Amino acid sequence: MDTGIAGEVRVGKRDSYGGFLKTHFRDYGMLLSLLAIMAFFQVVTGGTLLKPLNLTNLVLQNSYIVIMALGMLLVIVSGHIDLSVGSIVGFIGGLAAVLMVKFNLHFIPTILVCLFVGGIIGAIQGYWVAFLKVPSFIVTLAGMLVFKGLQLSLLGGQSVGPFPPTFQKLSSGFIPDFVAGGAINVTALSLGVAVTAALVYLGYRTRVNQQKHAVETAPFGFFLFKYTLLAILLVGFSYLLATYRGLPNVLVIMFALVALYAFVTNRTTIGRRIYALGGNEKAAKLSGIKTERLTFLTFVNMGVLAALAGLIFAARLNTATPKAGLGFELDVIAACFIGGASAYGGVGKVTGAVIGAFVMGVMNNGMSILGIGIDYQQVIKGLVLLAAVTLDVYNKRK
C-alpha cells in the first residue's frame, strides 16, 4: 500500500543491510509486530483468527476505524487532535436512520446529506481551531459533548431501524462474483492478484527510476523481501476471503481510500504542506503556505470521513443506537499513535495508521475469541499503546 518512494529514498548507505534496518526500524518494525500479533493469536485461538469467516468479520469490524484513522492522521500530523469523531459517528448514524426510517428518504440522497452534514460539522470545528485559534483539544471536546447530545435527542433515546436492504449492502454486501457457482469467489481472487501485480510493478518502476537518477535505494534483498511478503499477504488474504463470500463492499471502499490518502500524503503538494505545517507552523506560514486554510481543510476532511464511518457502522448494525460511536475516538487516535504519528505534529504515515488500526483490531478480535473479558481487553490495549509509543520515543532518542 506504500507508494514506495518516500519509504525507500532515505537511506544512509547504499546496500548496507544493517544501516538500512536501523533507519527503517520503525517502518518495518510496525508491520512485523502486526504479523507477530496475528501469528500469536492464530496459534492461541487454534487457527480461528484466520478462518475466512473470522477474517471477513475482522475487516467489517475495523473498516470504520481505519477510515477515520486516515482523517485523524492528517489532523494529528498538522499538530491537532479531534476528540469528536465518535460522537459524529453516532450523530450521523442517527441522522441517517431518521431520514430513511422516519422520512422514507431513498438511501442515496441520505448518504449524500449525511456526508455533507459531516463536512459542515468538520468545517465548524475547523473554523474554531484554524481561524479563532481555540485549541483543538477544547473545540473537539465541546464537539464531542454537543454531538453526543444531538445524537440522543435525534433518536429520542431509542434505537431506530431497521434500514432498507440496499443501504445495509454498504456494510454487509459483497462484490458479486462474475463466475458464479464455484467453491471459490473468482472475482475476489483475481482482484487480489491484480492489485498485488500492480503494486509490485509500481514499486519496481519506482526503484528503477530512482536508480537511473542515482538515488540511493533499499538493498535489493530488502526490496525482494518486502514485495514477496506483500504478495504473499495480499494474495493469501484475498484467497481466504474468496473461500468465504468474496470481497466485502466496505473492504473495497477502505482499500481505495487508503490508497488515495497514501498517495496524497506522500506525493502531493497538499500532503507535503500538511507535514510542514505540523513540523513548524511559523516557518510554513512564512513560506507562503496558507496554514489556517490547510488546518481548516483537515478538519472538514475528518468530518466527512467520520460521517462515512457513521454510515458504515449504522449499516452494519442495521440500526442506529444511542450508544453508537461511544469511545471510537480513542481507538482511532490510538491507531495513529501506534502507527508512529507524533503527538507534536509533523510526523506520521498513512500506512502506519492503517497498521495501527489493524493491530488494535486483531487484538480486539483475538481476545474476544479467547473469551477475555472486556475489562482486561482494555488493560492490554492500553499497555500496547504505551509500549508502542515508548519504543518510538526511545528509538528516536538514540
Partner 1 sequence: MTAILEMRGITKTFPGVNALDNVSLAVRAGEIHALVGENGAGKSTLMKVLSGVYPYGTYSGAIVFEGEERRFRGIADSEKLGIIIIHQELALVPLLSIAENIFLGNEQASYGIIDWSLAYARTRDLLERVGLKESPDTLVTDLGVGKQQLVEIAKALSKKVKLLILDEPTASLNEKDSDALLALLLQFKAQGISSILISHKLNEISKVADSITVLRDGSTVETLDCREEAVSEDRIIRGMVGRALEDRYPKRESHVGKTIFSVENWSAYHPVHADRQMVKDVSLHIRRGEIVGIAGLMGAGRTEFAMSLFGRTYGQRISGRVLLHGREIDVGTVSRAVANGIAYVTEDRKTYGLVLDEPIVRNVTLAHLEGVSKNLVIDEIQELAVANDYRSRLRIRSANVFQEAVNLSGGNQQKVVLSKWLFADPEILILDEPTRGIDVGAKYEIYTIVNNLAEAGKGILLISSEMPELLGMCDRIYVMNEGALIGEFSAAEASQEKIMQAIVKSGRR
- Direct distance between the N- and C-terminal alpha carbons of the chain, in angstroms, rounded to an integer: 29
Q: Which is nearer to partner 1, 24 or 245 (CB)?
A: 24
Contact (Cβ atoms closer than 8 angstroms) between residue 278 and residue 74: no
Question: Least distance (Å) from partner 1 to the CB of residue 279?
Answer: 4
Write phi, then psi, for 364 (nearest 5 degrees). Answer: -55, -50
**Which CB atom, from 88 or from 347, has the smaller least distance to partner 1?**
347
Q: Minimal distance in Å, beta carbon 392 to partner 1?
A: 14
Residue 205, CA atoms < 13 Å, CB-side half-sphere: 7
Nearer to partner 1, 23 or 42 (CB): 23
For Cα atoms 327, 332, 333, give the angle at the middle one, nearest 5 degrees. 100
Closest CB 290 distance from partner 1, rounded Å: 7
SS (H, E, C) 304-327: HHHHHHHHHHHHHHCCECCCCCCC
Cα 269 from Cα 374, distance rounded (Å): 43
17 vs 183: CA distance, rounded Å:
44
User: 321 or 342: whose CB is closer to partner 1?
Assistant: 342
Choose between 158 and 287: whose C-beta lies nearer to partner 1.
287
Nearer Cβ to partner 1 (11/76): 11
Q: Cβ closer to partner 1: 245 or 272?
A: 272
Q: How far is the CB of 270 from partner 1 (least distance, A)?
A: 6
* Contact positions vs partner 1 (CB under 8 A): 5-6, 9-12, 209-210, 213, 215-216, 267-270, 272-273, 275-276, 279-280, 282-290, 346-347
Distance CA 272, CA 266 (A): 7
Q: Which residue has the cell 454510515?
A: 311
Helix (H) or strand (E) run with residue 40 in it: helix 25-44
CA–CA distance from 97 to each of 65, 100, 165, 295, 320 (Å)? Answer: 20, 5, 13, 31, 6
- In angstroms, give the least distance from the CB of 10 to partner 1: 5
CA distances from 210 to 19, 24, 207 (A): 19, 18, 5
Closest approach, Cβ 5 to partner 1, in A, equals 5
From CA 147, how far away is CA 157, in angstroms rounded?
Answer: 14
Q: Which amino acid is at 86?
A: G
CB of 213 to partner 1, least distance (A): 5
Nearer to partner 1, 9 or 53 (CB): 9
Minimum distance, C-beta of residue 277 to partner 1, in the bound complex (Å) = 9
